[in-house]
Amino acid sequence: MTFNEYQVEADKAALGLATRTFWYSALGLAGEAGEVAEKIKKYYRDGAGLDGLVKELGDVLWYLSQIARHANSSLEEVAKANIEKLASRKARGVIHGGGDNR
């Protein structure tokens, strides 16, 4: 499945606020990212398994898809731009460090 195919299918599950508001999707992403972090925290703290991690990552992906749509973009475009940015940073020797514009 491509990112574009995913986004078409994911949009079918967008109801209510998720279809109309940027903020709802942004807050949903933050909440789901927190759930991913909790799974990983418990893995290291308690030796818990990573059961459910893939499902939580899927929820993160869904909200990312909605945010991209609200921004008149696609996940395919987001992924491509990110790979280009990382390749540029690596080529310039600035993959490490901080700041968006390195």
HEC profile for 26-50? HHHHHHHHHHHHHHHHHHHHHCCCC
Whole-angstrom Cα distance, residue 6 to residue 98? 31
pLDDT digits (tens, 9 = 90+) for 56-81: 999 999 999 999 999 999 999 999 99
Please report the pLDDT score of residue 18 as a whole number.
62
In tens digits, what is the pLDDT along the chain, a chain of 102 residues? Answer: 999 999 999 988 887 766 678 899 999 999 999 999 999 999 999 999 999 999 999 999 999 999 999 999 999 999 999 999 999 998 998 888 777 776
Q: What architecture is the 10-92 domain classified under in CATH?
A: Orthogonal Bundle (1.10)
Whole-angstrom Cα distance, residue 23 to residue 3? 22
Q: What is the pTM of this model?
A: 0.85
Tokens read off for 85: 């940015």
Tokens read off for 45: 């703290």
- 54 HSE (CA, 13 A, CB side): 1
What is the domain partition of the chain in residue ranges? 10-92
Please report the pLDDT score of residue 99 as a whole number.
72
